[in-house]
Each structure stands twice: as structure tokens, then as C-alpha cells.
Amino acid sequence: MFITKKHLSRRTLLRGAGAAIALPLLDAMIPAATALADTAAAPKLKMGFIYFPHGAIMLPGNDQWTPQGQGRDFKLSRILAPFEPYQKQLVVVSNLGNRPAESASPHAIVPGTWLSCVHPQESQAPNGGVTIDQIAASHLGQDTPMPSLEVSTEAAAGGNAGTCDRSFGCSFAETISFRTPTMPLPMEHQPHVVFERMFGRGDTPAARKAVGERYGSILDAVSGEAGSLRRVLGPADSAVLDDYMGSVREIERRVQEMQKVDLSHFQVPKVPEEMPSNFSQEQELMLDLIALAWQANITRISSMTLAHEGSNMTFPFIDVPDPFHPTSHHQFDAVKIEKLIKIQTYHTQKVAAFLKRLGEIPDGEGSLLDHAMILYGSNMGNSNAHNQYPLPSALVGGACGKIKGGQHVVCPEHTPLANLLVTILHRAGIPQDKVGDSTGELAEI
């Protein structure tokens, strides 16, 4: 791509009183007569790590995760079927296991060992391993406003459902991200807090309220600069800017609407007949916030849990009114297994909608999806047995051409999950000799 327009800095912000928002990549950020790949504005790899609890149905004779066939010739399973439009950018990896995640208290350590493959020391204080999202953030996230973003769609269980343990405490159940072996990073579950972290509306609740009362919208606060900028942009850049700011406006509206719902005075039943809040909308909103953060180059590294380990969330909107965690103890009951398959397929559908959104957002010579590498999986295999083999694991996204998509890689049995993790770092250009119990990279990817 070559352009002749005036060069605009990639770090340009739209500023207004009490607010500042970053911009997506525009043609005007590329110096005249310069190839995009040779500039600082060249698209950078975005890395996502999306975790779902309670494994996937991969039972002998009833495997609803593993594709049929291997190599380039494979057919997606029922749970993975929503990824069919992105099959050319998909790598499903089979026969992975994570021995360091094994313990007598699986829910207590499974999330926090997914991205480190390090067995924690027995202690109420966290002491495990650095996760690869944070390894990536230390290399790729130092020139963005947020080195990494960690979100969830449920508050930490706080000891419910056996997620805290006398040997390991609570830390490993409540996050998938560790900056250091002893520093877990909280997963923020409130969309408005994530939004404010990204764009800023004051340092305290009182300050944010004052700004909000004076300026009804962040976009209203920066509208003057946006108008001035639009006058010097070409038609293509103007369209990108309009789409981006429209996305900000829409997410802001949805956050404001969700904030109107006050559940503090409700006594939530243990097994509610219907959702106490719009869980599906919260998941969509968090995924859209990740897309927005990537588009604005606020961060390139994002981690998300689709539900909390030991979650008792219900899914009546897909005809599963039963709480998630008890259903995961299916005891080979066909009815419970079918309900689990519905939940697991629903989660894949949500991620597929996220992929669709990424594919619609321009990012230099391609889309955000073309420049993303997303690990989607769980650190549990059969939820009824609480085992760590085989683990459902998939990579999706164009990854700036750094991975070989469109394949089902069948590894030797009990290949360490850590081999996939170290491969992800290598494909991101990050030198890392070892992750957890890794024995080498997966050359097929």
C-alpha cells in the first residue's frame, strides 16, 4: 500500500476536557510513498487467550469437540462447528495434556495453571508460574497504554463451589493470568470499569461522576477534535474513523444501559428459573471491548474467561436452566451431557461472533482477524473426572501469517500443553526456551 497524504502519528489521540481516545490505524498514519510493512504503523500481532471452564465433551464414542480427520482434511465437530467460516485460519490441536495442573483440588488450580503449565506450591499465598500472556505482554505490550487486558463475565466465586482450597488458597481459581509467580492479575467483570480503564473518565468514582454529569459522552468531549481531523482525512480514513467512533458510541450506550440494572436488593436463588442478569449480553460486550482495545491499539494482549471456574450460571436462553457446575458432573447421564454440549457450543458461537467482528475491522492491509492469534480452550478434559487429558485446544486467527492455519494437528498422546504455549510465543517472535514442562515446539503449526 502506498499513499501520498500527510503523515499522521500512530499515537494521535482525540482529546477533550477530561477525556482522550486513541485512534485506529488510518492510511494517513503511513508516510507518503512508503510500504506499510516498512513503517511503524505496520499492523502488529494481537494475542488473545479465551478460557472456558469445565472442559468439553470428548468421551469415547461421544466426542463432540475433536474434528473428524486430520491434517488439512478434517470436518469440524458439533462444538466447533460455529468456527466453520474461519476454518482456513483455525488449528485444532489434539492429544494435549497438562500434568502440572493435576491435583486433588482441580477447580482450585486449573484456571491459573492453563497458561503456565507450572504446578503451584502448596500455600495460601500464590506461588506458581508466569503465564504466557504476561510473557507476551512484557515483549509486545510495552508501547501500548495497557500492556495487557484481563476480563471475565462473572465475579470471582470467592470460595464458592470448591474453588478455594486449604492447600492452594483462592488465587489460581480466580484468574488465568500471572505477571510473576506470586502476582495474579484480577479478571475485571464489570464492563463499565473496563471501558473507563481504556478511555479514562476520572481517577475516582466522584471524579468520574462529575465528568459524566458535565459531558454526557466521551465522544461528545472529543467531538471538536474529531471534526477537525475528519476534514483532513481521505474518504477511506473518514469511513474507518466513523465506524470506530460508532463502535465506541454503541458500546458506551450499552454500558450505560447495563449500569441502570440494579440487582443489589435482590436475594438471588441458588437455582434461578431465569437469568438474574443478561449474561449473554455481558459476554458480547466484553468481547467487543477487546476488539475495540485492539482496534485503538490500547493493548495487543487480552485474556478472558467466558465463565468462572465452578460457575453456577444458568443458560435458559439455550434451554439449559440448570446451573453450569452441577451439570458438568454429568455422571455419563445422556440428558446432562446434551445440556453440556449446548453450553459448550453456545460459548463457541459467542467467540465466532467475536471473530466475525474482528474480520470486519480494517487493520492496515487486512483485518484485525488477519493479525490476531487467539488460543481458545480449557484446562480440563472430562469435567466428570476433573482430568487434564485430553484438553480441548484451538488456535484461530491469521496471526500475521505466522501460523499454518486450516488443519487438525494430532500430536502423540499426552503431548504437554506447554509445547503449544511455547509454539505460540515463538510464532509471536518471542524468544522463550521453555514454558512449564514443555519439551519443544509443535513444528506443524
pLDDT at 274: 34
Instruction: With cut-offs at 50, 70 and 90, classify the pLDDT of residue 298.
Output: confident
Q: For residue 389, what are the CA distances in angstroms to 100, 141, 278, 311?
A: 11, 32, 33, 21
Instruction: With cut-offs at 50, 70 and 90, classify the pLDDT of residue 242.
Output: confident
Residue 396 or 245, more confident: 396
Instruction: Give tens-digit pLDDT for 142-152.
Output: 888 888 999 99
Mean pLDDT of the chain, nearest integer: 83
pLDDT at 197: 77
pLDDT at 301: 97
Predicted structure pTM score: 0.81
Looking at the predicted structure, is the pLDDT value of residue 13 above 70? no
Question: In degrees, to the nearest 5, what angle opens at C-alpha 70 toward C-alphas 64 and 72?
Answer: 120
Looking at the predicted structure, is the pLDDT value of residue 23 above 80? no
pLDDT at 107: 81
Looking at the predicted structure, is the pLDDT value of residue 209 above 60? no
Closest CA to 19 of 190, 262, 272, 211: 211
Delineate the domains of the chain, giving CATH numbers in brackets: 28-200+279-427 (3.40.720)
**CA distance linking residue 402 with residue 200, whole number of Å:** 34
- Mean pLDDT for the stretch of residues 112-125: 92
pLDDT at 22: 64
pLDDT at 146: 86
Instruction: Give tens-digit pLDDT for 243-273.
Output: 677 766 656 655 565 455 443 443 332 322 3
pLDDT at 142: 82
Strand ranges (E), 222-340: 301-305
Percent of the chain with pLDDT over 70: 77
Residues 6+ apart with CB under 8 A from 97: 381, 388, 389, 390, 391, 414, 415, 416, 417
**CA distance linking residue 130 with residue 84, whole number of Å:** 33
Residue 94 or 202, more confident: 94
